[in-house]
Structure formats: C-alpha cells, structure tokens
Structure 1
Amino acid sequence: MRPDQLPRRVLAAVALPLVLLAAWWVASAGSTSIYWPSLQTILQTFPETWTWERITHDVLPSLGRLGTGYLVALAAGVVAGTAIGLTRTLRVAAEPTLEFFRAIPPPVLVPVIALFAGYTGSTSKIITIALGCLWPILLNTVEGVRGLEPVLLDTARSYRLGTRRRLQYVVLPGAAPRIVTGARQALSIGVILMVISELFGATRGLGAAVVQFQRSFAIPQMWTGIILLGLIGVVLSLIFRVVENRVLAWYQGQRAMERGA
C-alpha cells in the first residue's frame, strides 16, 4: 500500500463505525429507559467501571483463557489436519468422526465440559475454547493439504527431501492460506466461547462481569462490558491481520502479481 493511500484506507475503516455511533447517540439522547440508557451515559460510565483493578480481575483472565485455548487448538488442528490430509487411509477413517463433532455446536458442550472439569476453574473454559476453535483450523488444514499440487509432492520426493523438510518447505507453505483462513474463523469463535463459557459459575472474567451487571440492574455498566468486548474483538482482528500479512507476504505478493498481469 502506497503512503498516499493510507488516509483513504483509514477513513474507509472508521466511516461506518462513526456513522453508527452518531446514530446511536442521536437515537438514545434523552432516554429515560432503564434498559436503554443514552450513549452519553454509557461513555461516562465506562472509565468508572473498567478501572485497572477490574481489568486485572476480569479482562486479563478472559484473555489468558482465550489465548491458551486458541493456541492449543491451533497446534492440534495443524498437526492433526496435516496428518489427515497427507494420509488417505487416516482421512477415510477420521471423516465420519470429524463430521459428527463438527455438527455439534460448541456452546452445547459447555455444560457437559463444566460438569467433568468443574465450573469455577479455568480448565473447563480453556477446553471449551480449544474444542470450538479446533474444527475450523483442522478442517481448513485438511483441505489445504489435500489441495496441494501432486507435482510438488512428487518433486520433493524425487529430490529425496526428508519428511521434516517436505513439511517445512512444501506442505505447510502450500497449505498456509487455508490454515490462516481457518485460524481467522477460529479466533471469532474463540471470543464468543470465551464469553459463553464464563456464563456458567464463573466469578472472574468479562462474561461473568456482564452477567453480574445485568443481574444487579447496573445496565449502563452492562453496556460498557458489551462495548469493551467488541473493542477487544477489533484489536484481536487487527493483530491477526498483522500476523497474517507477515506469514502470507509471499502469497499476497504472488496474488498481486497475478492481478497485475
């Protein structure tokens, strides 16, 4: 992206959020409803609610569980997906099981996992996030590996590259675009499951804080928690995009050359 295009890209990115905030401000101005406070009231409540003490008590534990579950799912999904994608026998044997578990919505498993792993600790929440994030990464990795050109694999074998070198220089780079796609989908699912898993018996976490505000009729504080959750999603998306641009720099350059041709 050329430097002269940066202001235009920034304006395009913030235009819709600014319009929505302006519409919310106007629509809620002067509201006397306890359930629909004005945006001005919510913004005034925000710094009073999310102090550093509350951030360390609720937000950081949630992000820690999200990061742990997501990284576990990423590692397991890439490893298992690569093995399944490269081995036809393993793929045929695993396909019915994969389809069975993929059809089960992850939120349904939250009470079951909490029943065995406990409601109050972090273990059940990390397991829930990991299981929910696993399937997009795993299935996209399988499809990415299966979509590799057979000529590439045959050429690597003809040059007598070992298994580790084939994975490092042929398989994983070739499947990287699909893996990144699955990882992006999994991140959104992980944020959702981070909140849902904290609705069951949790005493710490962003989701637990929002529920506590709702139950105590602290509605402006509840709305600040929802807004904070959205802001966290935006920041995580930006971080992911930076990582994606570094990992797939070669792929994006190749696509740019193809479009230019």
Structure 2
Amino acid sequence: MERVLLRLLLVVALPALLVVAWWYASDGSTDIYWPPLRTILSTFPDVWTGERLREDVLPSVLRLSAGYACAAVAGVALGTVIGSYRGVRAVCEPVLEFLRAVPPPVLVPVIMLFAGIGDTMKVVVIASGCVWPILLNTVEGVRAVDSVMSETARSYGITGVARLRHLVLPAASPQIFAGLRQALSIGIILMVISEMFAASNGLGFTIVQFQRGFAIPDMWTGILLLGLLGFVLSVVFRFVERRALGWYHGARDASRRSS
C-alpha cells in the first residue's frame, strides 16, 4: 500500500508543481494571449458542455481510433512479413526509409486530392503517420526472435501459423507495443492537424475557430482538453500493455529480484 501511495505521489507531484507555477506566473496577467489560469479554468465548463463534447470531441476520438487501428493492423502485418524474410526486407528497406522520411502533415494536401475532405481523409492522414513506428518496431522485433527458440520450434514441427502465433508474435510483442506507444502520440498530433484542414467539427477545428475569433481563454481550454485526452489515452494504453505483456513484465521483475 505504501509503495502504491508513493508511486501516486510521484506521478501527481510534477503536474501539481507545474499547475501551481502556471497559476502564479499568469496571475494578474493582462496580456490577451496569456490569460490567467483561473480565467481558463473558469471558462472550461462553459465551453466544453455535453453537446460540444458529442459534436467535437467524440468525432475526433473516433477518427483517431479508426486511423490508429488501421495503422496497427497494417504495421504489424507488413512488419511481420518484412521481418521474417530477408529477401523481402532487402527489397523493401530503401522504399520504407524514403517514405518514413516524408513528414505526414506534408501529405495532407495530397491525401485531400484522392480522399476528399471528409472523415476518410482524416483517418488516412492519421494512419499514414502512425503506421511507421509500428511497422519498423515490428520488423525489429521479428528479426530479434531468439535463434535457439526458432530452431527448437522447427525441430518440433511448429511451423506456419502456429509458429507465428506461439513464437514470433509473442517474442516480438514488447517491440510491437513500443511502436504502438510511439504511434499513439503521433496519432493525436495528426488528428489535430487533419481537422485544421477543411473540417466542420473536431478538436482541431474548434481550437482554430476560437483562435480566429480571438476567444483566447476558450482556445486555451481546448489545448488543456487535448492534454487531458492524451493523458487518458496513455493511461488506457498502459493498462492494456500491462495486461497483454504481463508475462514479459513478470519475467523482467523476477530477473531484477534475482540479480
């Protein structure tokens, strides 16, 4: 119990310190672009009502979820194939390095030409940026599968789908989840950027509308809400990761205790 309380204190300490510092640093500010934190917090419940959450936050979360899911499926599938076969990796690696170097926001106008300005465009933008960390981490995870375990599986006749399910994916899963974690933060950024182009709702659209209307405290509430959304998604992801990689974290903790 004491360890849990100590960990909670460590998690809360820095955010609380930053909020206090922001509160006193902005207190008494008359700058229109830097309103006091108390003004922002008092504006928050008036701006983000239940109706606005349904009309702006929910569509953003759905687009993020769709793009992230597409990137996860494509990244893991392609990464497994590329990582498993040396010839495929040799052919694909130069192209992958080229495409990875292209910033996803630059592709937004191009994607708009092919996918239009609806939700499809936003999902494609999110997926196009999220797929790279997932794909590359999957490739490295598959390549790093223990050769002794691979030979043991082969000697027992474990091949094909069974080998993929019971050896390759479990062994590569820590790397895959590392890619998924990186992709989550990229997805949130691209969600906002995609909604700044030809959108009629969403968090990015709403924040830009507040900025254009000089509703600066309202704009800051949108930025705070984005931070809270990122924090909640990070907590949910960590919970899922701990459940999915329970065997991995348990083995690592046991190794630390023994050493």
TM > 0.5: yes
Equivalence for 2:25: 27
Match of 1:53 among 48, 51, 54: 51
Between the aligned partners of 1:222 and 1:77, the Cα distance in structure 2 is: 35
* TM-aligned CA deviation for residue 164 of structure 1: 1.1
Amino acid at match of 2:84: L
Counterpart CA distance in 1 for 2:42 and 2:112 is 36
Q: Which amino acid aligns with 1:113?
A: I
Provide the C-alpha distance between the structure 2 equivalents of 1:151 and 1:111, rounded to a whole number of angstroms. Answer: 48
Q: Helix, strand or coil for the counterpart of 1:204?
A: coil
**What letter corresponds to residue 167 of structure 1 in structure 2?**
L
Tell me, yes or no, if structure 1 residue 232 matches structure 2 residue 229.
yes
Out of 140, 144, 167, the position equivalent to 2:164 is: 167
TM superposition score normalised by structure 2: 0.98
Q: Specify the alignment match of 2:173 in structure 1.
A: 176
Out of 6, 10, 13, the residue aligned to residue 15 of structure 1 is: 13
1:154 aligns with 2:151: yes
Q: Which residue of 2 aligns with 1:43?
A: 41
Deviations 1:81-128 (A, max 9, x none): 001111111111110110010111111111211122112x10010000
Deviation, 1:32, is: 1.5
Which moves more between the two structures, 28-37 or 181-190?
28-37
Give ranges in structure 1 of 5+ residues lacking alignment: none
C-alpha RMSD of the superposition: 0.8
Q: Distance in 2 between matches of 1:6 and 1:256?
A: 16
Q: Which residue of the partner structure matches residue 219 of structure 2?
A: 222
How far is the alpha carbon of 1:37 from its aligned partner? 0.7
In the alignment, which residue of structure 1 is the partner of 2:103?
Answer: 105
Percentage identity across paired residues of the two chains: 60
Runs of 4+ aligned residues of structure 1 deviating over 6 Å after TM superposition are none
Quote how far apart the aligned CAs of 1:4 are.
2.2
Determine the structure 2 residue equivalent to 1:68. 66
- Cα deviation for residue 162 of structure 1 reads 3.3
